[in-house]
Structure 1
Amino acid sequence: MDRKTKRLLLLIASCSLTGVILGGTASWAESNLCLRADRVTSDCVTQDPIQKTIEGMSTGLVAGAGAALGVAWNLRHQD
């Protein structure tokens, strides 16, 4: 593997990991705020906070990988 490929993989991995952490944290916080609201909706009560967190983490993974690929694509075409 050449140096550029290693850098690209490192960029994708780090952005994906950051996306997973931020997505999971945001979903967890949102579900906690939803349950502490003055008016608790049926969506708050019926949805599992763990499932909501996993959905946020998967969305963050895709968003992070997409952002890394977008940056790499942009840098490649600027040269």
Structure 2
Amino acid sequence: MDRKIKRLLLLVVSCSVTGVILGGTASWAESNLCLQKHTVTSDCLTQDPIQKTIQGMSTGFLAGAGAACGAAWQLRRED
């Protein structure tokens, strides 16, 4: 692999990992806040916190990968 492809791969992987961490953390915190409210809704009780966290992690992964691709595309256009 040449140097540019390695850098692009590193950018996509690092942004995706960051997105997974942030998305999972945000979803987990949202689930916990939902259960700590004074009036707990039935929607809050029926959703599985683990499943909600996994959904947040997958959303974060896609957002991170998309951001990395967008940044790489923008840098490529400037060169």
Band of TM-score, shorter chain: over 0.9
Q: How many Å separate the matches in 1 of 2:43 and 2:9?
A: 38
Q: How many Å separate the matches in 1 of 2:4 and 2:43?
A: 46
Aligned counterpart, 2:61: 61
| Residues 12-55 of structure 1: per-residue CA shift (max 9 Å, x gap) | 00000000000000000000000001111111100000000000
Number of residue equivalences: 79
Taking the TM superposition and a 5 Å limit, the aligned residue runs for 1:1-79 are: 1-79=1-79
What is the TM-score when the length of structure 2 is the normalising length? 0.99
Q: How many Å separate the matches in 1 of 2:42 and 2:75?
A: 46
In structure 1, stretches of 5+ residues that fail to align are none
Q: How many Å separate the matches in 2 of 1:66 and 1:39?
A: 37
Runs of 4+ in 1 over 6 A off after TM superposition: none
Question: Residue 61 of structure 1 aligns to which amino acid in structure 2?
Answer: F
Superposed displacement of residue 6, structure 1? 0.1
Identity, in percent, stands at: 78
What is the TM-score when the length of structure 1 is the normalising length? 0.99
Q: How many Å separate the matches in 2 of 1:63 and 1:38?
A: 33
